[in-house]
Amino acid sequence: MCFTSNFWSLTIDGLNNGFLYALIALGYTLVYGVLQLINFAHSEVFMSGGFAGLFLTQWWLGANGSAHGAESVFVVVAGVIIGGLAGGSVAFLLERVAYRPLRRRNAPRLAFLITAIGASYFLFSLAGHLFGRDSQSVPQLYDNKQVFTVFGAGVHVYDLVVAVSAILMMLLLDRVVAHSRLGQGIRAVAQDAETASLLGVNIDRVISQTFIIGGLLGGAAGFLFGIGNSVSYTMGFVPGLKAFTAAVLGGIGNIRGAMLGGIVLGLVENWGVTCVRNSWRDVIAFGILVLILMFRPTGLLGERLGRSA
């Protein structure tokens, strides 16, 4: 095959992308599970986490500073937390300002979709106005040296930062949804909101908490993306669409499906570009979306949140 000679390096890079797609996709799938809504403004939640992490690191280290040793660990952990909090805050405001009034008026589904697109463009334009139109690099948080090799392919510090952060967050989310009282509420609302309300579940609170959880993950992913690339007001567009593809690939509304879909998408698109030009990367990703919708619209796992945890 065309990628035989560098299979493991492609796999490492693909996993790196896939973990980020999975974190963003979880926000789409959680919201869809409880509201049957595709929150297209989630890409701007991701973007807000990137800017929050950028401002934190610039304040901590200076625009051209760098971190070393234990300070690197503290800055990265703080960045993940601050990025997550920024994403969670934006997601909470979106639910309160944009979506809750529509729910209380029993607005049609089309109104939710139009509002989601409008909110996305509003936040996108606002960020460009407030933070500028140029990409900004995050200060150097660590020496991105090679840590070890896998069958000759190097694994660098950034690869480990993304993998460890993403795996810990995904495991925590899986346990929260499966075993906590909050998770029980989320699954109950996802399965039958009306019955859950009759049983005493506060629907508005559960939906707000679901948006916040998705925002926390998306914002943290924004910071992790930013430290390996750059931060800009446009940074959420393509990763957001690919994460939506990952959510559909795994089974929209299925938490473990979103995790699986993100990882599979990251691997497949990375393997695929070695057989064609790199400019075909996005074509491969969105081609997968078309194929899934044509031949398996329920996705790889295909269960809704209320039945999957």
- pLDDT average, residue stretch 259-278: 86
Note whether residue 128 is domain-resident: no
DSSP letter at 275 equals T
What pLDDT does residue 136 have?
Answer: 93
Q: Is residue 217 part of a domain?
A: yes
- 254 three-class SS: coil
User: What Cα–Cα distance (Å) separates residue 34 from each residue in 12, 20, 22, 107, 268?
Assistant: 34, 23, 19, 16, 29
What secondary structure does DSSP assign to 181-235, as a single string?
Answer: HHHHHHHHHHH-HHHHHHTT--HHHHHHHHHHHHHHHHHHHHHHHHHHS-B-TTT
- What local confidence, expressed as pLDDT, does residue 309 receive? 42
Count of the separate structural domains present in the chain: 1
SS3 call for 82: helix
Q: Which amino acid does the sequence have at 232? A: S
Choose among 62, 52, 46: nearest CA to 82: 52
What's the pLDDT band for 307 if we cut at 50, 70, 90?
Answer: very low
- Asked whether residue 129 is domain-assigned, the answer is no
Tell me the pLDDT band of 1, cut-offs 50, 70 and 90. low
173 located within any domain: yes
Average per-residue pLDDT in the chain?
90
Within a domain: residue 29?
A: yes
- Is position 132 within any domain? no
Contact 124, 133 (CB under 8 A): no
Residue 126 domain-assigned (yes or no):
no
CATH number of 159's domain: 1.10.3470
Q: What is the DSSP string of 23-38?
A: HHHHHHHHHHHHHS--
CB 89 within 8 A of CB 198: no
Task: Report whether 55 contacts 81 (CB < 8 A).
Answer: no
What range does the domain containing 107 cover? 4-121+138-308
pTM for the whole structure: 0.93
List residues bridging with 150 in a β-sheet.
Answer: 153
| Rg of the chain over all Cα atoms, to the nearest angstrom | 19
Q: What are phi and psi of 235, to 5 degrees?
A: -65, -20
Is the pLDDT score of 97 beyond 80?
yes
Termini Cα distance of the chain = 38
* CA dist., res. 42 & res. 218, Å (int): 8
